Amino acid sequence: MLYGSRFLTEDAPDGPFPEDGMSALDAMRLVDEEMVLEGDPWRNLATFVTTWMEPEAQRLIAENLYRNFIDHAEYPISAEIEQRCIRMLANLFNAPGETTGCRTQGSSEAIMLGALSLKWKWKQRREKESKPTDRPNLVFGGDVHVVWEKFCRYFDVEPRIVPLREDKYTIGPEDVEPHIDENTIGVAAVLGTTFTGHADDIVGIDELLVGLKGDKGLDVPLHIDGASGGFVWPFLYPDSKWDFRLEQVRSINVSGHKFGLVYPGIGWLIFREKTDLAEDLVFYENYLGKTDATFTLNFSTGASMVLAQYYNFVRLGRKGYTYVMKAMETNAKALAEKLEESGNFELIGADKEQLPLVAFKLVEGKSYDEFDVSWQLSAERGWMLPAYTMPPKAEEVKVLRALVKQTLSREQVDRLAGDLQTACETLDAKGGAHPSERHKMKASPGY
């Protein structure tokens, strides 16, 4: 049989809805051929999202793709497994007692929900004191993911964004304090920024908020955006306090599909106590023969990733997650050492607690920039290494970031370091690849 189908010489359907169908084999080959030029996950150093799971987990996912998670009456075991995961995460994050939470499509939904609860709880406090509720604001740093700005725009909250600067890529209490007033619904702090992998000064911010509560009567809650770091810090830095051990931390979001090691999309929102969830945001429905409480922006969604998260929890346990995180950290440090030894790059915050990644920039005096290195590395060897500028007011700083995931072996680390060296040698000889206005634009570092 000859390879292919009629689409070897015909355009793929694109536009009008097809009048006729095709065989299953033709449809499969059509899509397969489209995906040939897709990026290779094994060389993707940009995405935080999980790109590999064990065969047993993949089988579990495939066998449960048809389950609609929201159908609790028909699929009560899936709902129970969600609650098991919530209890395990509450324990991992040192919740003081019985709490609540929910699975989400990812951290973006979890952040929206957590911030909505902050707004509603603030509104309740203001109404109880007969004070106006028309000017809520939310304080966060320029190191947050764009979803925080989306929340403020979508839900009519004033964003009070703490700008960064060239020598400071996270925020602390001294940055936050000037922005807080009686209309502040909360402060958001990041555990593992997308840009450099570091954490805000969460302990310092918590101490500030505790002080404001005692001195001025301002009870401002702290939400931790642990999208990336929530599954890293408990295992790499178990003694670091960032979670519910701190008094003002009232809610935490985390992405199961990042360092939770599950395929997309799965996220989690965990509250310190049940009372931290605004009851007005909980809806009760009985569409399918059983009354259920729902607290999500999405409704129908697959149960597979909830089951896959539980699989990872029971498969790996605390010791297993610690092993995986330490292996990634070890390889990240090996890559960092090789890049520094090359003389081409300067590391960013390698001596601080950090996600398993390497953030770095070119040393002074090069005739090309970080965007050129990213392009050259991709052109020569197929690596997807993101280059981007930092947020305001540090946008003059250009950064390269290599995420070292569990699929990046030591041999691949060595090869990557060698390929970066070769890319720099090529650029040293020929100069920058793209001298254009593009380099002045803010680029997304990936999520």
Type of residue at 417: A
Q: Please say if the pLDDT value at position 437 is more than 60.
A: no
The lowest-confidence range among 35-44, 55-64, 241-250 is 35-44
- Mean pLDDT value across residues 366-388: 96
Q: State the sign of the Cα–Cα–Cα–Cα dihedral 364, 368, 371, 376.
A: negative
- The answer to whether the beta carbons of residues 227 and 145 sit under 8 Å apart is yes
pLDDT in tens, 1-32: 577 777 778 888 999 999 999 999 889 989 99
What angle (nearest 5°) sits at the alpha carbon of residue 94, between those of residues 92 and 100?
85
What Å distances lie between residue 165 and 141, 370, 420, CA to CA? 11, 19, 28
> If you average pLDDT over every residue of the chain, what do you get?
93
What is the pLDDT, as a whole number, of residue 3? 74
Q: Please say if the pLDDT value at position 45 is more than 90.
A: yes
Domain range list for the chain: 61-312
Q: Tokens 């899936």 label which residue?
A: 78
CATH fold of 61-312 reads: Aspartate Aminotransferase; domain 2 (3.40.640)
What is the pLDDT, as a whole number, of residue 180? 98
What pTM does this model have? Answer: 0.94
- The answer to whether the beta carbons of residues 442 and 388 sit under 8 Å apart is yes
Residues near 95 by beta carbon (within 8 Å), at least 6 away in sequence: 244, 270, 272, 273
47 vs 439, which has greater pLDDT? 47
**Percent residues over pLDDT 70 in the chain:** 95
Which helix (DSSP H) or strand (DSSP E) does residue 216 occupy?
helix 202-216
Instruction: Count the Cβ atoms, other than its own, within 10 Å of residue 39.
Output: 13
The lowest-confidence range among 27-36, 70-79, 142-151, 343-352 is 70-79
- The answer to whether the beta carbons of residues 142 and 391 sit under 8 Å apart is yes
Q: Please say if the pLDDT value at position 52 is more than 80.
A: yes
What is the pLDDT, as a whole number, of residue 439? 47
